[in-house]
């Protein structure tokens, strides 16, 4: 990774050479190449919400954009009204008391905070516990911090929850940070109160900070509202939760997220962000506050839409004999590949023979091998058509 400038060779900093490969950039390139050939590709491989932001939120941004106050630099750590809106939402949805002045950090999307927390807490040689399979951007922050990862296998037998008893005492002693994510990307699994209580106990015992990625917190199925980690007694003492408006309100492109919980960690995140950014554009902060405090019918309708899509998809999967467990939350489905294929070779087959894009499970970690991830991010008709195309390959 070197380039020439004049007579000199540009040598990147070592941290640039240790960054993990962006697995999904390759997936996107393959899909785009097929589309460029004029193929009718159904892309179920990415996690990009397909619905527009609700109109009342867009209207608030349009109105707020004209406010001259917001044309100046915002307060470095964000406007108090947005932090108050976050606290109000957590109180209403989870009965969790949040101090908006000390327990909320505003983020440029949840991904930013998930990368920053490693840089705030990890030194070279420290260990971070990471779910496998899991969201690959956890790896990025650990790499930038020069720390090491120890993977926690998520298996179907254990309901895609980590087994803390399987972590060696040596690793537990060196670990300073742990990521977890429920409703889970990529498996669609959900966590219960008993698991979160075990997590707090384990973190307290070993002095580990918990980073709960709650990006899909609003998307639970079968009349089950996903639990927030912060509802667990003692959770605020050991960790923070990351929440984003991307999925709940279809605001992925707006880049608004929060770190919520432990005041000391929130202070560290605010400190590192002081060196990277001024805060989000004030108009976006005002629209985000309205999203959180305004009518939540749009969230209820969105959840119902994903559940309806899930049922349409699994009805079609049953017809072609592709057996898998329904996800309990998120907008992802975790499906086993047929015998004789790796997750990547099967994904390639579906792309080139059926014009359907799915994400190979191995892109989320070694324990993702043998599965593909499929997103409920297109209409029921297109989901059914995708399954019909796959069915014609007679693989099941």
Q: Which residues, 6 or more positions from 175, have their beta carbon under 8 angstroms from its beta carbon?
A: 126, 127, 128, 129, 150, 167, 206, 208
Give the tens place of pLDDT for each residue, 54-106: 999 999 999 999 999 999 999 999 999 999 999 999 999 999 999 999 999 99
Give the tens place of pLDDT for each residue, 351-384: 999 999 999 999 999 999 999 999 999 999 999 9
- What is the largest distance, in Å, between two alpha-carbon atoms of the chain? 65
Residue 28: predicted pLDDT: 87
Phi, psi for residue 240 in degrees, rounded to 5: -130, 160
Give the tens place of pLDDT for each residue, 185-233: 999 999 999 999 999 999 999 999 999 999 999 999 999 999 999 999 9
Instruction: Tell me the DSSP string of 314-348.
Output: HHHHHHHT---PPPSBSSEEEEEPPTT--HHHHHH
Answer yes or no: is pLDDT of 1 > 90: no
pLDDT band at 140 (very low <50, low <70, confident <90, very high): very high
Q: What is the dihedral of CA 24, 29, 35, 39, to 10 degrees?
A: -80
Phi, psi for residue 280 in degrees, rounded to 5: -60, 150
Answer yes or no: is pLDDT of 244 > 80: yes
Answer yes or no: is pLDDT of 3 > 70: no
Dist CA 316 CA 32 (whole Å): 26
Is 3.40.640.10 the CATH classification of the domain at 56-293?
yes
The CATH 3.40.640.10 portion of the chain extends over: 56-293
The CATH 3.90.1150.10 portion of the chain extends over: 15-52+298-391
Residue 2: predicted pLDDT: 59
Residue 78: predicted pLDDT: 95
Enter the CATH code of domain 15-52+298-391.
Answer: 3.90.1150.10
pLDDT band at 24 (very low <50, low <70, confident <90, very high): confident
**Separation of first and last alpha carbons in the chain:** 44
Dist CA 13 CA 74 (whole Å): 32
């Amino acid at each position: 990774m070197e380039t020439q400038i004049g007579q000199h060779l540009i040598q990147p900093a070592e941290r640039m050479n240790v960054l993990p490969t962006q697995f999904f950039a390759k997936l996107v390139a393959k899909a785009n190449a097929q589309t460029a050939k004029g193929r009718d590709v159904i892309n179920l491989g990415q996690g990009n919400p397909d619905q527009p932001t609700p109109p009342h939120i867009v209207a608030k941004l349009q109105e707020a954009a004209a406010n001259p106050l917001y044309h100046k630099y915002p307060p470095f750590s964000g406007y108090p009204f947005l932090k108050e809106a976050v606290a109000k939402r957590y109180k209403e949805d989870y009965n969790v008391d949040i101090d908006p002045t000390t327990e909320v950090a505003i983020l440029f999307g949840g991904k930013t905070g998930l990368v920053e927390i490693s840089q705030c807490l990890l030194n070279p040689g420290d260990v971070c516990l990471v779910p496998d399979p899991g969201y690959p951007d956890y790896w990025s922050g650990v790499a930038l911090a020069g720390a090491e990862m120890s993977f926690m296998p998520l298996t179907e037998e254990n309901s895609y929850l980590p087994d803390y008893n399987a972590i060696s005492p040596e690793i537990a002693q060196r670990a300073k940070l742990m990521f977890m994510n429920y409703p889970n990307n990529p498996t669609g699994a959900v966590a219960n109160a008993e698991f979160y209580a075990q997590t707090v106990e384990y973190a307290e015992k070993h002095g580990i900070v918990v980073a709960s990625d709650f990006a899909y917190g609003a998307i639970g199925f079968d009349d089950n509202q996903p639990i927030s980690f912060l509802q667990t007694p003692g959770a605020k003492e050991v960790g923070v939760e990351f929440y984003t408006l991307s999925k709940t309100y279809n605001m992925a492109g707006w880049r608004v997220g929060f770190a919520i919980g432990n005041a000391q960690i929130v202070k560290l995140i605010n400190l590192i962000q002081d060196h990277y950014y001024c805060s989000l554009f004030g108009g976006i902060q005002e629209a985000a506050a309205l999203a959180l405090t305004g009518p939540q019918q749009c969230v209820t309708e969105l959840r119902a839409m994903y559940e309806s899509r899930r049922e349409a998809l699994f009805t079609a999967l049953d017809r072609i004999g592709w057996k898998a467990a329904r996800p309990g939350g998120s907008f992802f489905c975790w499906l086993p590949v047929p015998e004789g294929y790796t997750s990547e070779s099967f994904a390639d087959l579906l792309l080139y023979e059926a014009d359907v894009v799915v994400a190979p499970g191995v892109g989320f970690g070694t324990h993702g091998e043998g599965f593909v991830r499929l997103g409920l991010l297109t209409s029921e008709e297109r989901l059914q058509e995708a399954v019909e195309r796959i069915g014609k390959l007679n693989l099941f």
